[in-house]
Amino acid sequence: MDERLRPFDLGSTQWYVLWYLVNNGPSVQRDLGRALELERATLSGIIATLVRKDLVAQTADGGDQRQRLLTLTAAGEALWRRLPDLSFIHDAAFGGIDEADVATTIRVLKSATERLQTLLRKD
C-alpha cells in the first residue's frame, strides 16, 4: 500500500483519513479519531500534515467551537480521483475466502479489540 501511495506523497494512515472523508463526508475530528481508532496526538499530526498539503480543511464546528470540522478540499478531492485502486490488497488477503468466514473473523477481532481497550481503560 505504501509503495503505491509514495508517488502521491501519502502514507497509509493519511490515505485512511481521506478515504473516511470521501466515504462519510465532513467529520468532527474527535469522531474521526474514534471511527479510525487513532490516538488524539497521532490524528492531530496526520490532520496537520493533510491541512499543510491543502488536502483537508479544518474549521471550527458550528455547534461547538472547541471541535474541529474536517472537510476535503478541492485539491483533496482531485487527488483522491487520481489515487490508484487499492482493492488488490483486500483481494490478496481475502480472495477465495468465504464472505461469511471473513465477517465472523472481523466480528471476533472487533470484539477482542473492544475487550482489550476496556481492560486498558480500567488501569
- What pLDDT, in 10s, does the model give residues 2-18? 889 999 999 999 999 99
Q: Residue 98's pLDDT is what?
A: 93
Please, which pLDDT band fits residue 122 given cuts at 50, 70 and 90? confident
In the numeric block, which cell numbers belong to residue 86? Answer: 487499492
Higher-pLDDT residue of 115, 121: 115
Please, which pLDDT band fits residue 39 given cuts at 50, 70 and 90? confident
Please, which pLDDT band fits residue 107 given cuts at 50, 70 and 90? very high
Distances in Å between the alpha carbon of 67 and those of 4, 31, 39, 122, 123?
33, 10, 16, 27, 28
C-alpha to C-alpha distance for 113 and 117, rounded to whole angstroms: 6
42-96 pLDDT, tens digit each: 999 999 999 999 999 998 867 666 788 999 999 999 999 999 988 888 788 888 9
